[in-house]
Amino acid sequence: MAVSWQRRLAARAPAAVFLVEGARIGPVRETLALSPGIRLVDTPRHASVLVVAGDVPTGWRDDLRRIHDQLPAPFVSVWCCCESFEALCNPIRNDAVEALPQGVVETHRELMLGKRDSAPRLLPDEPPNSWEGLGDDGHGGEGMMGGTPYGRPMAMNMQDDLRDGLTLDTLTFRLGPFHSALPPGLQAEVSLQGDLVQTWTVTRKPFASVVEPIFHAARQEPVPIVEIELARARHHLRRLYRGLWIAGWPRLAERTLRMAGQLSPNSDIAGLRYTLERGGLWRLALPEPGRGALDEAQARQLGGPAARAAGIDDDLRSQDAHYRRLGFAPTCREAGDTAARWQQWLDEIEQSLVLAGQAARHDLKTAEADAVETPRGPWADAFPHDMSDLLGEVLPGLEWSEALLTLASLDVAALDLHPLGETRLPGPGHAGQKGHA
C-alpha cells in the first residue's frame, strides 16, 4: 500500500527533465521551461526523463550514452527529431516540438505509476579508470601523489595561479558537449586552480546557432520591419533567459522567457530592466567592471551585440533607407566587458521594440536584401562563423562563476545558413565551406 501511495505521489510531481540539445532544433529548451508539469534540471543525476532533441552527430553519441546512463532508475528517454540508440527497444519518439511537453508529462506519469519499464543501461558497469589492485596499496595510487586513487586522477600539476602567483594544485577536466551552461555541442578541456580558470581549450565546436526564418527571408526580399525586429527582441530575451538561469535567478529567467513569447509592437521591458537593476543583478551576480572584456579586434571578429557593447557602431541596418527613415542609429556601450554585453541586450531589445512600433504604424518593410543584421551579427557577403576558440583567450583568469556568466554573454557559435525545415547543405563548421564574420 505504501509503495502504491508513493508512486501516485511521484506521478503528480513535475517531471524532472534533463535536456540534450542537438543541432537544428530551435528553442526547445524554452518550450519545455514554460510547460506546466516539467522541471528542467542541470544534471542528469537529478532527472527521471532524458529528452534528446535535434540531430546528434555520430561523434557525439558516446557522450550521449554516458549521459543516458547517469540518470537514476527508474528513468526513460524521449527522442525528438533525432534517431535513438539501437539498443533501446520501442524508443519513445515525439517529432513535433509543440507536442513534446505533453508527451514528456504523460511518459513520466506512466513511469512513476509502474506502467512503463525503466530504460536499460547502455554501457558496461565498470569504472572509467581501472584502479583496483593497482599501485602500492591496491587502491590505484602510486607513491605519494601519482596514479588514479580509487579511479579519480589527482590534481597535481602545480602551476602558478594567474590571480596571485600562488602555486596550487591544478584540476583538469572535460566539460560538455551537452552541459546546460554551454552552447549545445561545445566541449572544452578546462584547468582550474581553486575556482580560477587557468586554461580553456575548445575540443569540439558548438552546433551552428539557428535564427528565426524571417532573417533568412530578409536575404531574399524585403520583409516587414515590425516582424524582423520582434524576432530580434525575442532572440535577445531568450539569450537573457539563459544567462539569468545560469546566474541563479530562475524566477526572473522565467519572467523574461514569458515576455519573449508575448511580444508585440506595444511591448515594453522597462519593468524588467527596473527589476534587474533594483534587484542588484549588476552588483551581485555579474563580474566586476572590466572582467571578461574584449579588445577591439576580438569584438570586431564576433560582431553583433558583442561588438556594439565595445563601442563599435557597425550595424547593417544603418545602410537600409527605411531604417534611416525611422531614425535608426546603432546603440552602443563602451566597456566591452561582461556586464556591458548584458546591458547591451536590454538596450537592443528596447530599441527593437521602438522600431517595431514605428514600423507597424507606417507599414514599412526593409529596403535592402542580400544583407541583414542578424541577432548573431552581420550576414552579407560573409556570415558569422564559429568563434569558440576566442573563449581560450577571454575566460582564463576569471573565477568559475565569472567565466560561466561571461560565456553566457558571448554568442560564439556559427550562424546556420539554412532555416529550420530545410534540407541542410554543408555550412558553418562543416567541411567544404568557410565563413568570415
What phi and psi, each to the nearest 5 degrees, are found at residue 160?
A: -70, 130
Asked if residue 106 and residue 27 are part of one domain, the reply reads yes
> Are 428 and 385 within 8 A, CB to CB?
yes
Read off the pTM: 0.88
One domain, residues 154 and 97: no
Q: At which of 204, 226, 252 does a domain end?
A: 204
146 and 20 within one domain = no
User: What CATH number should be reported for the domain holding residue 315?
Assistant: 1.10.645.10
Asked whether residue 56 is assigned to any structural domain, the reply reads yes
Instruction: Give the H/E segment covering residue 175.
Output: strand 171-175
Q: Specify if 121 maps to a domain.
A: no
CATH of the domain at 63: 3.40.50.12280
Residue 134 belongs to a domain: no
Please indicate, yes or no, if residue 169 is contained in any of the structural domains.
yes
Residues 172 and 288 both lie in one domain:
no
Mutual angle of helices 338-362 and 225-247, in 10-degree steps? 150
Report the candidate in 409, 11, 262, 207 with the shortest Cα–Cα distance to residue 254: 262
Cβ neighbours for 40, distance < 8 A, ≥ 6 positions apart: 17, 18, 19, 29, 32, 33, 180
Q: What's the Cα-to-Cα distance from 104 to each of 16, 44, 94, 109, 329, rounded to whole Å?
A: 10, 15, 9, 9, 45
Tell me the residue range of the domain where 13 lies. Answer: 2-112
Question: How far apart, in whole angstroms, are the C-alpha atoms of residue 137 and residue 119?
Answer: 38
Asked, for residue 420, whether it belongs to a domain, the answer is: no
Centre a 10 Å sphere on the Cβ of residue 133 and count the other Cβ atoms it contains: 8
Same domain (yes/no): 189, 235: no
Pick from 179, 204, 229: which residue ends a domain? 204
180 and 228 part of one domain: no
> Omega before 74 cis (within 30°)?
yes
Angle at 254 between CA 250 and CA 260, to 5 degrees: 145
From first CA to last CA, the distance across the chain in angstroms is 63
Residues 156, 276, single domain; the answer is no
**pLDDT at res. 284:** 78
List beta partners, residue 49.
17, 76
Query: What is the rounded CA–CA span in Å between residue 202 and residue 433?
Result: 20
The pLDDT of residue 249? 92
Assess whether 154 and 231 both reside in one domain: no
347 is a domain residue: yes
- Do residue 224 and residue 354 come from a single domain? yes
Choosing from 112, 129, 154, the residue where a domain stops is 112
Residues 39 and 77 placed together within one structural domain of the fold? yes
Domain co-membership, 331 together with 255: yes
Q: Are 398 and 291 in contact (CB under 8 A)?
A: yes
| Dist CA 248 CA 233 (whole Å) | 22
Among 289, 292, 307, 294, smallest CA distance to 401 is for: 292
In our burial notation (b when 16+ CB lie closer than 10 A, e otherwise), range 88-122 reads eeebbebeebeebbebbbebbbebbeeebeebeeb
Query: 15's torsion region: left (phi>0), alpha (psi -120 to 50) or beta?
Result: beta
Structure-block grid coordinates of residue 167: 602555486
Q: Is residue 287 part of a domain?
A: yes
**Residues 198 and 221 placed together within one structural domain of the fold:** no
Output the nine-digit C-alpha cell for 264.
508585440
Counting the structural domains of the chain, the total is 3
Q: What is the pLDDT along the chain (437 residues), one digit of tens a residue?
A: 456 888 888 889 999 999 999 998 888 999 999 999 999 999 999 999 999 999 998 888 899 999 999 999 999 999 998 888 877 777 888 888 889 999 999 999 999 999 999 999 888 887 777 877 787 777 877 776 677 777 777 766 666 666 666 666 788 889 989 999 999 999 999 998 888 999 999 999 999 999 999 999 999 999 999 999 999 999 999 999 999 999 999 999 999 999 999 999 999 999 999 999 888 888 878 888 889 999 999 999 999 999 999 999 999 999 999 999 999 999 999 999 999 999 999 999 999 999 999 999 989 999 988 899 999 999 998 889 999 999 999 999 999 999 999 999 999 999 999 888 664 443 333 333 333 33
Specify if 295 maps to a domain. yes
